[in-house]
Amino acid sequence: MAKEKTAATKKTPAKKTAAGGKGSAGKKAKAASAGRSALAKELTGLIPELDEEGLAFLIEQARVHLYNMKIAALEEEAQALERSSERTRRAAGAKAVAEGRAVNAFSIQASEDGGTYHVVYAGKWKMFNADEMKSMVRLVQGTDSAAQAGARLYRWFLAERSDVFQDLPFSGLADPRLKELAALLRKTFTIKGASKN
């Protein structure tokens, strides 16, 4: 029986310690609240001694400080969102590699109504309308090599859509990425399918 009492006594301090840990967080919050109250009380005590100009100055300073606090909060939120987006991008990249797909491979995404298409490469999206996509598909069809078809695409981009080079950095007629895009267009569309789109 004496042993049981000893064991019970040993457990009680552990519970008190845990409660003490929670209490310390509460004490910090109370101390912060007390500090704020003391400052507010001091400011309130100074108000009767201030003239109109002094009060106007304090109000202006308070507004500036509130504005700065809001900006800081917004910046912190934006950074948190950016970190979250970066984690999502990294996860998507890791998943793509795990699935055996190259992260920098081309893909083509069609809109629901088929009115527009996006050529996606290395996280960059370039939109083409249905007629532009038909033109690109027609350029790559044929029995010649994908490299030759890619060179035709490059010339078409230069003439019709030079903005493409801002997001899809083709280095010239012989860029192997043009060959890759031409092969993807051939695989994804046929001349018959292009005329329907």
pLDDT tens figures, 129-142: 999 999 999 999 98
d(CA 64, CA 52): 18
Give the mean model confidence (pLDDT) for residues 175-186.
Answer: 92
CA-wise closest residue to 181 among 102, 106, 103:
106
Tokens found for residue 121: 């490469």
User: What percent of the chain has a predicted confidence (pLDDT) above 90?
Assistant: 32
More confident residue, 66 or 13: 66
Binned at pLDDT 50, 70 and 90, residue 99 comes out as low
Strand ranges in the chain using DSSP code E only, listed in sequence order: 107-110, 116-121, 124-129
- Domain segments of the chain as ranges: 33-101, 129-196
Binned at pLDDT 50, 70 and 90, residue 98 comes out as low
The order of strands in the sheet holding 107-110 is: 107-110, 116-121, 124-129
Encode pLDDT of 12-34 as tens digits: 444 444 444 556 777 777 887 88
Q: For position 151, what pLDDT does the model report?
A: 93
Q: For position 196, what pLDDT does the model report?
A: 36
pTM confidence score: 0.46
User: What percent of the chain has a predicted confidence (pLDDT) above 70?
Assistant: 78
Q: For position 78, what pLDDT does the model report?
A: 86
- Polymer length of the chain: 197
